[in-house]
Amino acid sequence: MEMQEHEKFMRMAIELSAHNVKQAAGGPFGAVIVKDGMVVARSANKVIQQNDPTAHAEISAIRLACQELGTHTLEGCIIYTSCEPCPMCLGAIYWARIDTIYYGNTKTDAASIGFDDHFIYLELGRPMHQRKLQIVQLLRDEALPVFKLWESSESKTDY
Query: Catalytic residue at 58?
Result: yes
Q: Is 4 exposed, middle or buried (0-12, 13-18, 19+ CB in 10 A)?
A: exposed
Query: b/e for 58-94, b at 16 or more Cβ within 10 A?
Result: bbbbbbbbbeebeeeebeebbbbbbbbbbeebeebbe
First to last CA, the chain: 28
Residues 101 and 74 sit within 8 Å (Cβ to Cβ): no
Q: H or E segment at 113? A: none
Catalytic residue among 15, 58, 75, 84: 58
Q: Which residues are catalytic?
A: 58
